[in-house]
Amino acid sequence: MNLKHEFRDAWKVERENNKIEEVMKYSKEYMNFLDSGKTERTSALEVIRLAKESGYISIDEAISKGNVEPGDKIYANNKDKSVALFLIGDKPLEKGMRIVGGHLDVPRIDLKANPLYQEANLGFFKTHYYGGIKKYQWTALPLALHGVVILNDGSKVDICIGEDEKDPVFCITDLLPHLSADQMQKKLSDGITGEGLNLLIGHMPLEGEEKEAIEANILKILNEKYNMIEEDFLSAEIEIVPAGKARDLGLDRSMVLAYGHDDRVCSYAGVKAILDSESVEYTGVALCVDKEEVGSQGNTGMHSKFFENTVAELIALQENYCELKLKRAMSNSKVLSADVAAGYDPNFADAYEKRNSAYLGRGVVVSKYTGSRGKGGCNDANAEFTAEIRRIFNKADIVWQTAELGKVDQGGGGTIAYILANYGAEVIDCGVGVLNMHAPNEIVSKVDIYEMYKGYKAFYNINI
């Protein structure tokens, strides 16, 4: 009997299992997912495309069909920004669901409603950042524009500039070191300000135009390409994100460097795990929500009634609807709050407590609680449910570890865990460790994301 517990090395385990090729294949598919969705909208549409490819039908189609049966595969699209995939289980919904809930929104920089101006022969867009970013990290990088513009006639125009090799890119400027004597004395948080995040978008004046000729030229180009006028910015959502694709990191290609791991890495694993499942005892749900990075509000965030309403529709299709069944479906559910953890970074060892940190290569991370300053705002998972997850993961031979988010009183954070816990559901945080979290390019271990996928799949399929 082994009395001592030690975390396992996921690379070693998967090499012994002869699964390294599968690890690499999974990460390749994940990287394709990242490249096809750089915003919450394009990611949500990619989730739906993958679901349809696996035989999922929309909730509207299910409603017109008139019933649902075990094995049915249904997706619900919430305003093109959040999605829920349901694999209907053998047991009725009121017995509870197995939910893997992640988010598709990522810290970024948005255009203001009135963005365009010119100064000193340069054309700019004014911006307002979204989520928790270190502003200085977003300067001097190639940036792309993604989003939608709703024209005055109500038609929707998709914008994507900067991803194709032939596209131009954009940039937020920084000051040359030679003249940075004042800037370098400032705190890191003040070196680049929010109102300083102005996007350089052009420089050539429109021929024959005297006043604001650079602005006029930009408007002409936008009009030619998208049929839009300046007023259309008032009804647009345009996001600035790092330009380019996800890349292998390391000589051994063991990691992925990309924009948006938090939290597309967990959302994708939940989606892939349910798409790869066929029949389940309890209805499985891959939930991909929006607005997590700004507090989960709004009608596409986890606080909205979208998920609850969709479950109500499904109960109505399964049997006679009553509110009590909906309440039971929610409170009997078990949830993995699928979000990333802070990967231990030896270059910043002071911020972590090394005995309770997420190490790259030790597999999927289970966090009993997150929060800050004495667990403030956390969902502290019950020991009984933690034990259930432990048994499921051990039974399925998942390489997993436990971690807290940094050392006590160093900071902290949260996920959507507490919101689903409000219904009485059992919820625990479960994701992977990330280096450079919230930076324009984040880092994950390929073997960890594979263990996460396997862990989520076990959660849908194994009942303890």
Site map 215..254 versus Mn ion, x via CB under 5 A: ----------------------------------------
According to the binding rule CB under 5 A, does residue 448 interact with Mn ion? Answer: no
Give 341 or 389: the residue with its C-beta nearer to Mn ion.
341
Q: How far is the CB of 212 from Mn ion (least distance, A)?
A: 39
Q: Which two tokens stand for residue 363?
A: 């597999």
Cβ(231)–Cβ(152) under 8 Å? yes
Binding residues for Mn ion, how many (CB under 5 A)? 3
Contact between 46 and Mn ion per CB under 5 A: no
Closer residue to Mn ion, CB minimum distance, 88 or 104: 104
> What is the residue whose two structure tokens read 């972590």?
352
The Cα 230–Cα 27 span in angstroms is: 41
> Please, what is the minimum distance in Å from the beta carbon of residue 110 to Mn ion?
16
Contact call for residue 429 and Mn ion (CB under 5 A): no
Residue 442 interacting with Mn ion (CB under 5 A): no
Nearer to Mn ion, 100 or 228 (CB): 100
Select 170 or 456, whichever has its Cβ closest to Mn ion.
Answer: 456
Distance (Å, whole) CA 239 – CA 112:
10
Distance CA 57, CA 76 (A): 9
| By the rule CB under 5 A, 40 interacts with Mn ion | no
From the list 152-160, 256-264, 302-310, 393-401, the region that binds Mn ion by CB under 5 A is: 256-264
The yes or no reply on residue 290 touching Mn ion (CB under 5 A) is no
- Pick the closer one to Mn ion by CB: 339 or 404: 339
Output the smallest distance, CB 292 to Mn ion, in A: 6
What is the distance between the alpha carbons of residues 235 and 242, in angstroms, rounded to a whole number?
23
Q: Which is nearer to Mn ion, 40 or 339 (CB)?
A: 339
Of 102 and 115, which CB lies nearer to Mn ion in the complex structure? 102
Within 124-212, where are the H helices?
188-191
DSSP 90-123: SS-GGG-EEEEEEE----EEEEEEEEEEEETTEE
Is 14 a binder of Mn ion (CB under 5 A)? no
- Shortest Cβ contact with Mn ion: which residue? 263
- Using DSSP, state whether 19 is helix, strand or coil: coil
A 10 A CB-CB count for 54 gives 15
For 251, counting Cβ atoms within 10 Å of its Cβ (0-12 exposed, 13-18 middle, 19+ buried), the class is exposed
Residue 339 touches Mn ion, criterion: CB under 5 A:
yes
Check binding of 262 to Mn ion (CB under 5 A): yes
Secondary structure class of 448 (helix, strand, coil)? helix
CB 11 within 8 A of CB 359: no
Could you say whether residue 388 binds Mn ion (CB under 5 A)? no
Near Mn ion by CB under 5 A: residue from 263, 404, 426, 442? 263
The one segment of 118-126, 212-220, 334-342, 347-355 that binds Mn ion by CB under 5 A: 334-342
Contact 411, 318 (CB under 8 A): no
* Distance in angstroms (rounded) separating the CA atoms of residues 271 and 19: 21
What does the binding site for Mn ion look like in residue numbers (CB under 5 A)? 262-263, 339
